[in-house]
Amino acid sequence: MGVAVFEVFGQEGPGAAMRHAGSLCAATPELAILLAEELFCRRSEYRALWVVPRDAISRAPQEGDVLGPAEPRGYRLGAGYRATVGKWRRFGGEQLVDR
């Protein structure tokens, strides 16, 4: 029986996203959960845990690559539409702009 690396994720409060807590070594998923509770939950930090074998995680980017589009794509972002402020001004509606 060999020991594998597990990555531990925890939920800090109701509705929170699972966040990486750290990693540990264990021989089985059951032992990994036991150790995760000992290592990361001594002060009730989390209400739920995900304990995942590191080998099960697929990674991106591959070496040398970057994630996301290479060119700026303002039309996908709110910040790409700043011109609306000036356009409202034409209608005397600056105060109506949502900030």
Partner 1 sequence: MDLDLRAAFEARIARGDLIEAGDAMPDGYRRQCLRLIVTHANSELMGALPEREWIPRAPGLARKLAVLAKVQDEIGHAQMIYRVAEDLAEPYGITRADMLDDLLAGRAKFHNVFSYPAPTWADVGIIAWLVDGAALETQGALLRTSYAPYARILRRICAEEAVHLKHGEDIVLTLAGGTPAQRAMLQDALERWWRPLLHFFGPPGDARNSDAFRWRIRTAGNEELRQGFLRKYVPKIQRLGLRIPDPELRYDEDLGRYAYGDPDWEEFWRVVRGEGPRTAERLALRRASRLEQDWVRVAIGGESAA
Identity of the residue, 5 or 48, whose beta carbon is nearer to partner 1 in the bound complex? 5
> What φ, ψ does residue 7 adopt, rounded to 5°?
-100, 140
Report CA torsion sign: 17, 28, 3, 43. Answer: positive
Contact yes or no for 37/61 (Cβ under 8 A): no
CB of 33 to partner 1, least distance (A): 13
Question: Is 97 a binder of partner 1 (CB under 8 A)?
Answer: no
Could you say which residues in the range 58-77 bind partner 1, by CB under 8 A?
A: 59
Task: Work out which of 13, 14, 17, 42 binds partner 1, going by CB under 8 A.
Answer: 42
- Contacts of residue 24, defined as CB under 8 A and 6 or more positions apart, other chains included, come to 5, 6, 8, 32, 35, 36, 39
User: With CB under 8 A as the contact rule, which of the stretches 25-33, 69-77, 85-93 interacts with partner 1?
Assistant: 25-33
Which residues contribute to the site for partner 1 (CB under 8 A)?
Answer: 1-3, 5, 20-28, 31, 35, 38-40, 42, 59
